[in-house]
Structure 1
């Protein structure tokens, strides 16, 4: 039987909705970024390949967005149209239409303050053919080719640093997130050369 796993990422680039708008607040960003190596508990490194979510997204019509991986705290759902998931060339993109509940309002406030700024996704790998391990490097490198996605979550502990999410008011977030990722990569390049 496949073991459930969860991965957590930093989310940044917060924008708030104007109070005069009639749309509910939304959180958008990337729950996973392809080809971004990360350390998993100092035990091994992991890379998610492009296409890893494609089959799961096409076959699983009922994925949930949660707060802190808690199934009692549902923020959105693909089946109801309040969670939108799409795999693009960069990674697993999501948009959550927050509910007008105390949880939704509290989360929006915590994100505005900067107290909550990470996201995560829960998955399992059905068989060994969907992942490969390279033990010739230290630490070992796991490459994920295909996952069964069952949830994305807004959380408080990071594992991957390259994902982003934001409370937004317009589609301009795509341009701003892209600019921020470029800036982060430039900074990492400069710091890596010291």
Structure 2
């Protein structure tokens, strides 16, 4: 099981009812864990699973909403979700997303088919059994941020935080 691969969550807007859309994964982009999701990796899991969970920080006891749509396109896994604003956790998550305190997505999955590219030192994920997508604090890709309702996040501050996290890991 992998819950560390984070990908771009390019929300164009966060509506008053808690609905948002963006990308949970982008094809061909190497994450900090040296994984690259390949086009078509989600095809089987999307055909077989209609109830993927939306969690906060990969915590099974912290569902925050529901995924309304998950579709692979030429960019990656495009998602539309809705926070459950009738719960305190849903309202808190909405407020944190709107303020930019939360600004990333992370997929929880098991790799079903992958290969290792020794020349590039990356694992190519060719088939993924996806079971959840979480809203998270720190994305593994510097570009994996939520575009807030009124303003973009301070990208340089985010890059500094990611670099500090990388240094702590190594």
Q: Same fold (TM over 0.5)?
A: yes
Q: Output one character per residue of 1:5-41: Cα deviation in whole Å (capped at 9) or x when no partner.
A: 02123545563435xxxxx22122111000112331x
1:146 partner SS: strand
Q: RMSD of the TM alignment (CA)?
A: 2.1
Judged with a 3 Å threshold, the aligned counterparts in structure 2 of structure 1 residues 145 and 65 are, in CA distance, closer, same or farther, namely: same
| d(CA) in 1 for partners of 2:127, 2:78 | 16
Give the superposition deviation at 1:61. Answer: 2.1
Q: Higher relative CO (CA 8 A, sep ≥ 6), structure 1 or 2?
A: 1
Within 5 Å, give how 1:147-166 maps onto structure 2: 147-163=128-144, 165=146
What is the match of residue 54 of structure 1? Answer: 43
* TM-score for both structures, normalised by structure 1: 0.68
Residue 133 of structure 1 is matched in structure 2 by 116
CA distance in 2, matches of 1:10, 1:90: 10
Rg larger for: 1
Residues 55-113 of structure 1 show CA distances to partners (whole Å, capped at 9, x for unaligned) of 10001122111111111111234xxxx53211111101111111121111111111111
**CA offsets 1:105-157 (integer angstroms, 9 cap, x no match):** 1111111111111110000013xxx11112234xx121111100000000112
Give the superposition deviation at 1:46: 2.2
The yes-or-no answer on 1:84 pairing with 2:69 is yes
Q: Are residue 63 (structure 1) and residue 46 (structure 2) matched? A: no
1:8 partnered with 2:6: yes
In structure 1, what is the Cα distance between the partners aligned to 2:63 and 2:147?
A: 18
Q: Distance in 2 between matches of 1:65 and 1:166?
A: 19
Contact conserved, 2:64 with 2:93, CA < 8 A, in 1?
no
| TM-score for both structures, normalised by structure 2 | 0.76
Distance 2:62 2:73 in 1: 27
Residues 137-184 of structure 1: CA deviation (Å, up to 9, x unaligned):
4xx12111110000000011211244454567xxxxxxxxxxxxxxxx
